[in-house]
């Protein structure tokens, strides 16, 4: 289930920091906290390690990129942005929708005043085959699980489609999602999984003080259709709830 909304600036200047994902993550947390406090406690209370059933993306219209005081910004010359939030959990999606409505005119995710409007529930996408072509709305990141240690069990670095063992680690990431959200699919086999890049590029995303390697573009995935639906709904790869891995279907 995908929710679409427009974020409008109420001020002439609307410079968004290049690491805007943490601002939008805070907006979503505030929306859930306002609408369904029990869901907020489940997913964020006491730094809960539970997998979060969503991803998001932000499209900035008419962008102008600039640097100021050694920081990077993106200014929307039209003062308009489009927020997408996607989840496989109807209760979470509805809580997010209602929460965003509640905070639309009182919570400002950036340093300038905003309003949120034009709320829209996107039509559901059905997967009828065991392969599909996707395009990233936001780049996806894949952890290198072979480099993990006792201090960093999630892996110390990220891989892109150009790297050795990328496909194996992408498979491991999707398998983990299946264990969390599709427990009856825990026997998902590597032999049943194929990743084929079509028009992909490696990008660097500034996030929480670090540059993260990520993959952006168009690719084909072969997997069980229920798994394809899952990654379409909750996102692909790591850091999904921080604004990575949002996908759209090309075919």
CATH of the domain at 151: 3.30.70.1900
83 & 151 share domain: no
**70, 95, 121 — which closes off a domain?**
121
Mean pLDDT of 16-34: 96
Residue 202 scores a pLDDT above 70: yes
More confident residue, 104 or 186: 104
Other CB atoms within a 10 A radius of the CB of residue 28 amount to: 21
Q: Is 126 contained in some domain?
A: no
62 & 115 share domain: yes
Name the domain count of the chain.
Answer: 2
Per-residue confidence (pLDDT) for residue 40, from 0 to 100: 95
Q: Which band of pLDDT confidence, cut at 50, 70 and 90, is reported for residue 152?
A: very low
Residue 44 scores a pLDDT above 50: yes
143 & 184 share domain: yes
Other CB atoms within a 10 A radius of the CB of residue 173 amount to: 22
**56, 86, 121 — which closes off a domain?**
121
Q: Is 73 contained in some domain?
A: yes
Strands 54-60 and 131-136 turn out to be unpaired
Please check whether residue 28 is in contact with residue 96, taking contact to mean a CB–CB distance below 8 angstroms. Answer: yes
Residue 193 scores a pLDDT above 80: yes
89 & 67 share domain: yes
More confident residue, 90 or 192: 90
Q: Is 160 contained in some domain?
A: yes
Per-residue confidence (pLDDT) for residue 209, from 0 to 100: 79
Per-residue confidence (pLDDT) for residue 154, from 0 to 100: 60
Residue 35 scores a pLDDT above 60: yes
Per-residue confidence (pLDDT) for residue 153, from 0 to 100: 54
Residue 130 scores a pLDDT above 60: yes
> Which domain range does residue 42 map to?
2-121
């Amino acid at each position: 289930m995908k929710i679409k909304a427009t974020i409008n600036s109420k001020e002439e200047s609307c410079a968004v920091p290049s690491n805007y994902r943490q601002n939008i993550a805070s907006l979503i947390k505030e929306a859930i906290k306002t609408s369904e406090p029990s869901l907020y406690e489940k997913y964020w209370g006491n730094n809960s390690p539970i997998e979060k059933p969503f991803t998001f993306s932000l499209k900035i219209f008419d962008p102008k990129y600039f640097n100021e005081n050694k920081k990077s910004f993106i200014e929307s010359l039209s003062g308009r942005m489009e927020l997408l939030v996607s989840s496989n959990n109807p209760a979470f999606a509805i809580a997010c929708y209602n929460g965003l409505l509640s905070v639309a005119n009182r919570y400002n995710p950036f340093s300038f005043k905003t309003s949120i409007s034009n709320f829209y529930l996107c039509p559901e996408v059905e997967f009828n085959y065991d392969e599909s072509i996707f395009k990233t709305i936001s780049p996806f990141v894949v952890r290198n699980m072979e480099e993990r240690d006792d201090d960093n069990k999630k892996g110390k670095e990220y891989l892109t489609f150009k790297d050795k063992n990328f496909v194996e680690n992408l498979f491991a990431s999707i398998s983990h999602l299946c264990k969390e959200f599709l427990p009856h699919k825990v026997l998902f086999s590597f032999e049943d999984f194929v990743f084929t890049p079509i028009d992909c590029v490696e990008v660097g995303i500034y996030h929480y003080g670090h540059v993260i390697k990520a993959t952006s573009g168009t690719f084909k995935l072969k997997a069980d259709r229920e798994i394809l639906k899952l990654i379409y709904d909750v996102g692909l790869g790591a850091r999904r709830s921080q604004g990575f891995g949002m996908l759209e279907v090309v075919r």
